[in-house]
Amino acid sequence: MFRLLFENQVFQKIEDFQTQGENEILNSALSFCGDWLSGKTVFSQKTSGSTGTPKEITLTRDRLKASAEATGKFFGVNSKLKLLCCLHPGYIAGKMMLLRAMVWQCEIRLVMPSSEPLSSLPEAYQPDFVAMVPLQVEKTLENDSGKRKLKKLKTLLIGGAPLSESLQVKIASELDNAWQSFGMTETVSHIALAKITDQTLCYQALPGVKLGTDERGALWVESPMSGSETIQTNDLVHFQSDGSFQWLGRLDFVINSGGIKLHPEILERKVEMSIQKFFSDSRFIFGGIPDEHLGQKLVLLIESKAKNLEKAGNLREELSKYLDRFSQPKEIIILEKFSETGSGKIDRLKTLANAQSDS
């Protein structure tokens, strides 16, 4: 039976969810659960703004429920599971954890979002099903107690951002219960999941989801979660013979350099560890800027307060060992600060525009 736990409080009856206190995270959770339990049929949600301006979209009750049910079928869940919500319930990922608990009739514990959310749990409390962002997984794996709890999970969902190559390898070596999600706010939540191994991730569609590509190779989605609409994405994918797919990157960001198409997200995974050797803890992206001869030239942008040109030169030499001649950046540009979206992700297009004016 559904109930929500927060610290030493228990919320179960519909009137329990009509209370409001001083904790903004708890209030957000109570408000959403109260609306759902009272039968509300339409919910508003902001998109993350990862690939454009954040916008307000409308999600119906049927679509939300369909998403929770499809995930439940995929994993074969039951009402005995203990769920944990360690993501902000104001965003879709946090809402979906609460919704899954209500649809699956499970207990769910809410904790304050943090980089190590399992550290705030009572030592004896072991959840079964958790969704986290990559940073939370990375930090939790560094903590012995957290690592033990991660290993005991039945299911760990990871989403919100692509995994770095180093974190994927670490997860594959430590955990056998972790899945990377693929989806967007417009499809309510994920529409496909990939078991995390040390190989290239292959995503499997959830039950009831139909997938295909348009003439550009960009993914489209038809599903109960997207209602009667076909959602056309700008995600370039490659389908396998078994119907699973590999994600190549965003069409918006593909670089056409002298007729060679380059996928920045793939390049970033290849060189992540090399860049960290020279610019530790620095964010970086590949991008294309206008070039008279190539159309676009490939550049590597690094976020760093210190413009160390010697390090950049050494890095460029290192990259030549791992990238073919077409994939090697023609220039390394160091910016003091990257532009960000409203949700704190790198705004690639604005950052590239800043790089052009800075170079």
- Residues 328, 245 share a domain: no
The confidence score (pLDDT) of residue 104 equals: 98
What CATH code is carried by the domain that includes residue 142?
3.40.50.12780
Q: In DSSP terms, which residues pair with 203 in a beta bridge?
A: 245
pTM of the model: 0.83
| pLDDT, average across residues 310-323 | 91
Grouping H, G, I as helix, E, B as strand and the rest as coil, residue 201 is: coil
Domain boundary among 250, 265, 283: 250
The confidence score (pLDDT) of residue 174 equals: 95
| pLDDT, average across residues 86-96 | 93
| pLDDT, average across residues 296-319 | 92
Residue 118 pLDDT greater than 60, yes or no? yes
| pLDDT, average across residues 99-109 | 98
Domain boundary among 195, 215, 250: 250
Band the pLDDT of 222: cuts 50, 70, 90: very high
The confidence score (pLDDT) of residue 259 equals: 85
| Whole-number average pLDDT of the chain | 91
What CATH code is carried by the domain that includes residue 264?
3.30.300.30
| pLDDT, average across residues 248-256 | 89
- Residues 315, 289 share a domain: yes
pLDDT digits (tens, 9 = 90+) for 152-166: 999 999 998 888 888
User: Which whole-number Å values give the CA distances from 285 to 138, 248, 260, 268, in the listed order?
Assistant: 20, 15, 18, 7
The confidence score (pLDDT) of residue 359 equals: 58
Q: Which two tokens stand for residue 273?
A: 């560890």
**Structural domain boundaries, residue 68:** 3-250
The confidence score (pLDDT) of residue 45 equals: 81
Q: Which of 8, 36, 37, 38 is nearest to 23 (CA)?
A: 8
- The pairing of strands 255-257 and 56-60 is unpaired
The confidence score (pLDDT) of residue 51 equals: 44
Residue 240 pLDDT greater than 70, yes or no? yes
- Residues 143, 122 share a domain: yes
The confidence score (pLDDT) of residue 212 equals: 96
CA distance 204 to 93: 19
The confidence score (pLDDT) of residue 56 equals: 80
- Residues 168, 55 share a domain: yes
| pLDDT, average across residues 166-186 | 93
pLDDT digits (tens, 9 = 90+) for 32-65: 999 999 999 999 887 655 444 556 888 999 999 9
- Residues 260, 229 share a domain: no
Spatial CB neighbours of 334, under 8 Å, sequence gap ≥ 6: 301, 302, 303, 304, 306, 307, 308, 312
- Greatest CA span in the chain, whole angstroms? 67
| pLDDT, average across residues 72-85 | 97
Q: Which two tokens stand for residue 68?
A: 């929770």
The confidence score (pLDDT) of residue 354 equals: 86
Q: Which two tokens stand for residue 143?
A: 């903590």
Q: How many domains does the chain have?
A: 2
243-251: long-range contacts, CB 8 A cutoff, minimum separation 24: 243/204, 243/205, 244/194, 244/202, 244/203, 244/204, 245/192, 245/202, 245/203, 245/211, 245/219, 246/200, 246/201, 246/202, 246/203, 247/162, 247/182, 247/201, 247/203, 248/217, 250/51, 251/216, 251/217, 251/218
Please report the beta strands in 115-183, taking only residues with DSSP state E, as ranges in sequence order: 129-132, 155-158, 178-183
The confidence score (pLDDT) of residue 229 equals: 85
The confidence score (pLDDT) of residue 50 equals: 47
- Residues 258, 217 share a domain: no
- Residues 169, 36 share a domain: yes
Q: Which of 177, 179, 173 is nearest to 198 (CA)?
A: 173
Supply the DSSP symbol for 180. E
CA distance 21 to 61: 26
- Residues 157, 10 share a domain: yes
User: Which whole-number Å values give the CA distances from 14 to 8, 18, 102, in the listed order?
Assistant: 18, 7, 12
The confidence score (pLDDT) of residue 39 equals: 96
CB 101 within 8 A of CB 95: no
CB 151 within 8 A of CB 174: yes
- Residues 126, 88 share a domain: yes
- Residues 281, 175 share a domain: no
Q: Which residues of 135-151 are buried (b: 16+ CB within 10 A; e: fewer)?
A: ebbbbbbeeeebeebbe
236-241: long-range contacts, CB 8 A cutoff, minimum separation 24: 236/263, 237/213, 239/211, 239/213, 240/202
Element (H, E) at 348: helix 348-358
Spatial CB neighbours of 103, under 8 Å, sequence gap ≥ 6: 65, 68, 69, 72
Grouping H, G, I as helix, E, B as strand and the rest as coil, residue 194 is: strand
Band the pLDDT of 279: cuts 50, 70, 90: very high
- Residues 272, 215 share a domain: no
3-class SS letters over 297-321: EEEEEEECCCCCHHHHHHHHHHHCC
- Residues 73, 218 share a domain: yes
Domain boundary among 185, 216, 250: 250
Residue type for 200, please? Answer: T
Q: Which two tokens stand for residue 126?
A: 């072991």
The confidence score (pLDDT) of residue 16 equals: 94
Spatial CB neighbours of 70, under 8 Å, sequence gap ≥ 6: 206, 207, 208, 209, 223, 224, 225
